[in-house]
Structure 1
Amino acid sequence: MSETLSTATDNTSNSGPSGITGASILLDKVTKHYPGQDSPAVDGLTLEIPAGKIVMLVGPSGCGKTTTLKMINRLIEPTEGRIVLDDDDVTDINGDNLRRRIGYVIQAGGLFPHMSVATNIGIVPKMLGWSKEKIAARVDELLELVSLDPAQYRDRFPKELSGGQQQRVGVARALAADPPVLLMDEPFGAVDPITRQRLQDELLNIQAELQKTIVCVTHDFDEAVKLGDWIAIFTDGAQLVQYDTPERILANPANEFVENFIGSGAGLKQLTLTRVNEVDLAEAVVANSGDLASDVLSRLDDARHDHAVIVDQKNRPIQWLTRRQLTRIDRVSDDRDAKLPVVGDRATLNDALDTMLVSSAGAALVTGKRDTFLGVINVETVMDAIGRAHTHARSAHSSGRPVGVNTGTLQAVESQGGTVDDDDPSLSAAGSGQ
């Protein structure tokens, strides 16, 4: 197994030459045995998590996913084995110091109700001795990152926020001291489907910008496919059944257990493998608040369009007006439509279709970094992409390989004189008893 790991010099992450600020994680024969239980909750798990990637832990209830997650930051102490963060064995690090190096996000954000948003976010930097000025600047920076206006939200309390807003603040708090690793335990399980989709998109946008190492527990396989660079599928005792990319798991499930876990909708799940940023977007007529409605209508005539996208000063969409709506006003207002059909550019085609179903325009607005407007995606574009995705899936099925991750896989590679690819953790992970 390759154990060539980069070195962290302090408690904040350092961007490498590729822009990755995350740290690699190695779980080496990790076991957790609770007193009074016949079988261990985690049984000899070996798993290598690459720096800068999102790894999703999935499996049936009680299989050891959350226990595995909590052992990484020693909220739960392992009974046996090693956990290595970059070059550091975490069992040699003071628990409190370790947890300041690792961000942790749970359902509903886990915010302290008696503290303001700014105070919640600034807890760890304050513990680390940052100045008030530096903490204040970091709070505003992170609120911008999670698409919350600092002036509007920094002084609010958790009870004044929606569930989705609380979760965004929870992510901001976890990132406050710029940790290389972010652990997430069912982070979006307590919000409605529309909010969940937008939070997932936000996480993907943040990850594209920061390239942290993210380990996330979920019971939702669709979420794992959407978010994960790699998916680890567990059975009881955190035994690894398959550890691979979403594409290869869907095309080549390792065994019947994985097939059953994926479910009968595996073909439909292929829609989650194509992102909105992989298809061509349609252009739109864009206007600003304060523009004369007559001028916008004239531009619609020239472009032969029926809708105009209204953006704010930061180029974020706030309205999508029809010709009829424009004929009823003199100037475009700065009102914000909370029900805009919006998807992030890293959203899946499945998400885009869901959003279009509730859009009177039969299309959706696409946003990118910091919610800036990029273009429009319509049904025709998605249907064309679906056809290409199915062709790609058939090709992958005929040429790909099933990857059942176990000790035998690793031994087979090594016995033939081969080396494990550092970028392919599926060839450097093992679970005992497989």
Structure 2
Amino acid sequence: MSESIGANTGTSILLEEVTKQYPGQVKPAVGGLTLEIPAGSLVMFVGPSGCGKTTTLKMINRLIEPTGGKIVINGQDVTKMDGDTLRRGIGYVIQAGGLFPHMTVATNIGLVPKMLGWDKAKIAERVDELLELVSLDPAIYRDRYPKELSGGQQQRVGVARALAADPPVLLMDEPFGAVDPITRQRLQDELLNIQSEVQKTIVCVTHDFDEAVKLGDWIAIFDEGAQLVQYDSPERILANPANEFVENFIGSGAGLKQLTLTRVNEVELVEAVTALPGDLASDVLSKLQGAGAPTAVVLDSRRRPLRRLTRRQLSRMQLVDDTVDASMPVVSDQSTLNDALDTMLVASADTAVVTGRREVFQGLINVQTIMEAISAANSAVGGDEAPVGLNSGAIPALSVENAMAAQTPSAEEPR
């Protein structure tokens, strides 16, 4: 790897016996951590406050300099690189997006590409591409300032900025911790949608174990001093917690958390009768009666759902209009069954509208589908072997060569 870590897709990361010892402290903040992060995977760091997970994250891009050990990205020990060059090749997202308030959305997103010498036309094209990727209309948002955005929109722009120079690695420090639960769920779904397209190597710190289960291909659970207690797939951690510490961290309701392991796009959706603004209401009503369906979903010109109309509502109008129902229960196809069930319960509904990338309508999901999915779930827990993860003294430390030669799971591992 040259004096840059640029790449279009994710690359492997290896922390080899990495230590961070602060002056005046008896115990290290991070003690002899060896951790393999496979290329293209989404790895979640979880653990109690002060356990060293954020310190570990920041050592990857050397916002915090390690006291000892190696950090190897795509085969190169980046502790020997210029720090500024390293950070320009790694995306970084913090709470509330960390946007510069005096800059427009477009200027915020284009900051790193400008530093790298991209021309104005290329930067403008990249800004619009990324705003589309995070489901923000460029024509509406590119010239706005952060104060004119909601918290969720600011966080989307923060993700877009982190991806601007197409880095292979994306680091996220409690990225969704400052937004409300509904926005948090939507941002989680959006991250999964984005990852399905860009396949970066993502390392994310969170205090929320449910978020770790939902997002992570692999979960690293830390105790004090970044002692790695368990590093495995969400399925195996839920089924076989390593010890009492992990059991307590998972908390009660482990069985219900299994709902978080299955996504809406893994179950069969219910087809729906759809309509467009301007359609004859009588024609839509006839389609509903023929299909034996109770409601029709009204879509805009980009096939995004606007609202649902009952037979009674259709019988009272001539043309379908473009009214938007903000209370309509909607979930992403990346949502978990737990998210879908919760959305339906909050809306007192037995079905929810499902959308995919760019909020395009996919179908409907109902309570019966979720119950059947739970009943049919395979209780066997399998999958690829977990990546390398240990602290010095736990077992003999692996060399960089041996660790990188270890079994590397596919980024397509079911979540």
TM-score by length of 2: 0.92
Match of 1:12 in 2: 6
* Structure 1 pair 71–95 and aligned structure 2 pair: CA distance change class (3 A): same
Alignment of 1:81-100 (within 5 A): 81-100=69-88
Q: State the 1:306 CA deviation.
A: 1.4
Aligned counterpart in structure 2 of residue 160 of structure 1, from 138, 143, 148: 148
Match of 2:227 in 1: 239
Q: Which runs of 5+ in 1 are unaligned?
A: 1-6, 15-20, 426-434
Query: Could you tell me how far apart the structure 2 residues matched to 1:155 and 1:117 are?
Result: 6
Query: Could you tell me how far apart the structure 1 residues matched to 2:59 and 2:4 are?
Result: 21
Q: State the 1:207 CA deviation.
A: 0.5
Alignment: residue pair count: 405
Query: Could you tell me how far apart the structure 1 residues matched to 2:34 and 2:204 are?
Result: 17
Contact 1:103 1:181 in 2 (8 A): yes
Q: Does 1:300 align with 2:285?
A: no
Q: Deviation per CA, 1:103-127: give whole Å up to 9, x if none.
A: 0111111111111111111111111
SS across alignment from 2:85: helix
Q: Does 1:370 align with 2:358?
A: yes
Q: State the 1:10 CA deviation.
A: 5.0
SS across alignment from 1:365: strand
Q: State the 1:305 CA deviation.
A: 1.1
Query: Could you tell me how far apart the structure 1 residues matched to 2:394 and 2:4 are?
Result: 35
Query: Could you tell me how far apart the structure 2 residues matched to 1:287 and 1:312 are?
Result: 9
Q: State the 1:333 CA deviation.
A: 2.4
Contact 1:276 1:349 in 2 (8 A): yes
Aligned counterpart in structure 1 of residue 406 of structure 2, from 412, 417, 420: 420
Alignment of 1:386-401 (within 5 A): 386-389=374-377, 392-393=378-379, 395-396=380-381
Residue type of the alignment partner of 2:6 = T
SS across alignment from 1:386: helix
Aligned counterpart in structure 1 of residue 185 of structure 2, from 187, 197, 215: 197
Query: Could you tell me how far apart the structure 2 residues matched to 1:324 and 1:140 are?
Result: 42
Contact 1:71 1:78 in 2 (8 A): yes
Contact 2:31 2:392 in 1 (8 A): no
Match of 1:147 in 2: 135
Query: Could you tell me how far apart the structure 1 residues matched to 2:237 and 2:109 are?
Result: 37
Q: State the 1:38 CA deviation.
A: 1.4
RMSD of Structure 2 on Structure 1 (CA) = 2.4
Q: State the 1:323 CA deviation.
A: 2.3
Match of 2:171 in 1: 183
SS across alignment from 1:39: coil
Contact 2:5 2:73 in 1 (8 A): no
SS across alignment from 2:322: coil
Alignment of 1:132-143 (within 5 A): 132-143=120-131
Contact 2:4 2:86 in 1 (8 A): no
* Structure 1 pair 162–125 and aligned structure 2 pair: CA distance change class (3 A): same
Q: Does 1:223 align with 2:211?
A: yes
Q: State the 1:324 CA deviation.
A: 2.8
Match of 1:43 in 2: 31
Q: State the 1:368 CA deviation.
A: 1.4
Contact 1:241 1:406 in 2 (8 A): no
TM-score by length of 1: 0.88
Contact 1:254 1:404 in 2 (8 A): no
Match of 1:432 in 2: none
Match of 2:158 in 1: 170
Q: Deviation per CA, 1:79-117: give whole Å up to 9, x if none.
A: 111111112211121111111111011111111111111
Q: Deviation per CA, 1:56-77: give whole Å up to 9, x if none.
A: 0000110001000001011111
Match of 2:275 in 1: 287
SS across alignment from 1:396: coil
Q: Deviation per CA, 1:329-351: give whole Å up to 9, x if none.
A: 33222333333311111211100
Residue type of the alignment partner of 1:125 = P
Range 78-87 or range 333-342, more displaced: 333-342
Query: Could you tell me how far apart the structure 2 residues matched to 1:404 and 1:64 are?
Result: 15
Q: Deviation per CA, 1:136-158: give whole Å up to 9, x if none.
A: 11111111111111111111111
Q: Does 1:53 align with 2:41?
A: yes
Contact 2:32 2:392 in 1 (8 A): no
Q: Does 1:115 align with 2:103?
A: yes
Q: State the 1:408 CA deviation.
A: 7.7
